[in-house]
């Protein structure tokens, strides 16, 4: 075997350091995806379930460890997004309880992810947990008071709880703020009670 040139041997330590630097840089530069807007395909289907009395604030009931190292905000956000996406996949399969569990885990890592609150309220509506859905939406309202999906889900909540006047007002505000899936107004089963009212029938003609 031909011996390695002396110039190569002298360069080996430098090459090793360079490889480590490139590896660390590549990890930092890996793109971080923000959660998508609340998924319009996550339709609300309501099956009969026993009451599920988990309050939203139970997601954050565990006291922080005083001796723990400060959390890395970027890492926490990534974990929040991961659990958000997991919850979406599970909710599509109809398991609203497991979806809520994942959404709460997402909020444990990052309480600022507004899309999590939207889809968690959708999961509660799917499970007929109307009080929990409203609590979740009230928290979202403090974070992003002009979120169009906030008012759309409020419209669904009010319709399902036979508060049609409030439902129509919330639906109008949702569209005014830019809710984009306008076909839901005509097809979403959550709005069935609202669609039976004369006020809705007159208003929908103006769209």
Query: Where do the domains of the chain lie, and which CATH numbers do they carry?
Result: 72-144 (1.25.40.10), 146-207 (no CATH)
In which band, very low, low, confident or very high, does the pLDDT at 62 lie, cut at 50, 70 and 90?
Answer: very low
Span between the terminal Cα atoms of the chain, in Å: 82
Angle (CA) 138 45 48, round 5° = 90
Identify the CA nearest to 37 among candidates 183, 178, 189.
178
Which pair of structure tokens corresponds to residue 20? 């480590």
| pLDDT per position as a tens digit, 72-128 | 889 999 999 999 999 999 999 999 999 999 999 999 999 999 999 999 999 999 999
Structure confidence at residue 69 (pLDDT): 54
Which pair of structure tokens corresponds to residue 160? 């399902």
Residue 169, number of CB atoms within 10 A of its CB: 16
pTM greater than the 0.75 cutoff: no
């Amino acid at each position: 075997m031909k011996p390695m040139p002396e110039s190569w041997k002298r360069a080996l330590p430098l090459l090793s350091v360079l490889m480590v630097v490139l590896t660390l840089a590549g990890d930092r530069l890996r793109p971080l995806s923000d959660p998508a807007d609340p998924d319009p395909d996550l339709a609300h289907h309501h099956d009969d379930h026993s009451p599920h009395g988990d309050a939203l604030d139970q997601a954050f009931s565990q006291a922080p460890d005083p001796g723990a190292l400060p959390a890395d905000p970027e890492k926490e956000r990534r974990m929040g997004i991961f659990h958000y996406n997991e919850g979406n996949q599970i909710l599509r399969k109809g398991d609203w309880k497991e979806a809520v569990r994942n959404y709460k885990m997402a909020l444990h890592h990052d309480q600022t992810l507004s899309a999590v609150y939207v889809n968690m309220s959708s999961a509660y509506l799917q499970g007929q947990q109307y009080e929990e859905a409203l609590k979740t939406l009230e928290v979202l309202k403090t974070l992003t008071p002009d979120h169009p999906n906030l008012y759309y889900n409020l419209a669904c909540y009010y319709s399902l709880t036979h508060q049609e006047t409030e439902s129509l007002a919330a639906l109008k505000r949702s569209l005014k703020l830019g809710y984009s899936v306008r076909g839901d107004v005509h097809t979403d089963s959550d709005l069935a009670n609202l669609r039976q009212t004369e006020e809705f029938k007159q208003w929908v003609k103006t769209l």
